[in-house]
Structure 1
Amino acid sequence: MVIGAQNAFVIRQGIRRDKVTLVVAICALSDMVLVVVATAGIGALVAQWPSAMTVLRFTGAAFLLCYGMFAAWRAYRPSTVNLSVATGGTTVVLTCLALTWLNPHVHLDLLMLGSVANSWGADKWWFGVGSAIGSWLWFGGIGYGSRSLADVLARPAVWRGMDAVVAVVMVTIAVSLVAR
């Protein structure tokens, strides 16, 4: 459970106490869709079109690199971080969808989850149900947990450190995706 771009966004929204339910719902519902697709056998589709993973890898790397650079900028210039200002609903939805659906680790997790689910044979859908429940618990936990701990997590030094860690992780993942 790495705190990547999507999870950092959920935490940020929780700290801001801004549209937490919407963000948790988008992330968990997206995960449910991905679990269904993975459990249904996405691996067979990718096996027929292997260049899809290459396209996803480079697109995801560019996206993560940009996101990492923005996080580095926020860590370097903490005055640009204003956790108390609410963001428009459209911006929150589009950012959350981008961080979910353009994230290359989501697609790699999709393949892994699909292979594990399919190893359960006829019970693969029970595995999928468990994965979907786990998504709701995870996103609800980090969204509402960060909202509950906002007073501690919103301290400039804490958030600046989180932004620095997110920047390093995102840039490292982006570089590793391109270097493959």
Structure 2
Amino acid sequence: MLFLPVLAGFAAGGSLIVVIGAQNAFVLRIGLLRRHVLPVVAICALSDAVLIFAGVAGVGALVRAAPVALEIARWAGAAFLIGYALIAARRAFRPGALEAAMAPEMSLAAAALGCLALTWLNPHVYLDTVVLLGSLAATHGDGGRWLFGGGAAAASATWFSALGFGARFLAPLFARPVAWRVLDGAIAVLMVTLGVSLVVTP
């Protein structure tokens, strides 16, 4: 019976995490470049775990009661996403920018900061992990809710590991520059769409 909350948490966490979003697009690109994959995957998984267990602990009520904080995150997140979209669009339309973006000098600090910004400046991550998963965890009782949270955190770690380290299997497809340009073009469109949605969605 103790396995049921874990399984429920894994299923719920996976259903929220395995979607096309800014964070997943960033991890996929890092995985394709094969640079700083482990730190980026670890940042994503640990960030989700912190947020999930905060929700299990009952922080969701505080998040709902702090609309100003979510509003600040909403505008900051929109600005970051649109800025990142412009960088991706520049790579897609200017081959020189693409070659620079794939240079071996890409720093760990840049990758880590980008990952942290895409994770913590997205207000939806608080609603999905802290509020929604926290509420679902509460239905499993005092003991079961922590098992539920563990299952959800495990789903996050599994997904980001598969996405980051599994991206290398797509390497033959991305051996051609045109494939990178298509990917960056798609990322630019995705980032702009998400950034605008943060602004126009109340």
Give yes or no for the alignment of 1:46 onto 2:67. no
| CA deviation after TM superposition for structure 1 residue 33, in Å | 0.9
Contact 1:4 1:166 in 2 (8 A): no
Match of 1:147? Answer: 168
Q: Deviations over 1:63-116 (max 9, x none)?
A: 111112222222222331233524122222222222222223322322222222
For 2:95 and 2:51, locate their aligned partners in 1 and report how far apart those are by CA, in whole Å: 35
Q: Does 1:158 align with 2:183?
A: no
What SS is found at the alignment partner of 1:85?
A: coil
Name the aligned partner's letter for residue 116 of structure 1.
Answer: L
Number of matched pairs? 180
Equivalence for 1:5: 22
Task: Determine helix, strand or coil for the equivalent of 1:95.
Answer: helix
Partner of 1:55: 72
TM-score, structure 2 normalization:
0.80
User: Structure 2 unaligned runs (5+)?
Assistant: 1-17
Who is 1:172 aligned against?
Answer: 193
The yes-or-no answer on 1:92 pairing with 2:111 is: yes
Residues 89 and 65 (structure 1), Cα distance of their counterparts in 2 relative to 1, 3 Å cut:
same
Matched residue type, 1:120: H
Contact 1:72 1:167 in 2 (8 A): yes
Inter-partner Cα distance in structure 1 for 2:105 and 2:160: 20
Which residue in the other structure is 2:97 paired with? 80
Could you tell me which of 87, 100, 121 is aligned with 2:141? Answer: 121
Q: Percent identity?
A: 51
> Bigger CA drift: 167-176 or 148-157?
148-157
Q: Distance in 1 between matches of 2:103 and 2:169?
A: 15
Instruction: Identify unmatched segments of 5+ residues in structure 1.
Output: none
Q: Which has the larger radius of gyration?
A: 2
Question: Which residue of structure 1 lines up, in the alignment, with residue 3 of structure 2?
Answer: none
Which region of structure 1 is more displaced relative to structure 2, 118-127 or 170-179?
118-127
- State which of 106, 111, 118 in structure 1 corresponds to 2:125: 106
| CA distance in 2 between partners of 1:12 and 1:154 (Å) | 13
How many Å separate the matches in 1 of 2:137 and 2:95? 43
How far 1:8 sits from its partner (Å)?
1.9
Which shifted more, 147-156 or 44-53?
147-156
CA RMSD of aligned residues (A): 1.9
1:75–1:163 CA contact under 8 A, matched in 2: yes
Q: What is the distance in 1 between the residues matched to 2:120 and 2:134?
A: 17
| CA contact 2:37–2:164 (8 Å) conserved in 1 | yes
8 Å contact kept, 1:18–1:86: no
CA contact (8 A) 1:75 1:160 kept: yes
Give me the whole-angstrom Cα distance separating, in 2, the residues matched to 1:135 and 1:154: 29
- Does the C-alpha gap of structure 1 residues 88 and 58 become closer, same or farther in structure 2, counting only changes over 3 Å? same
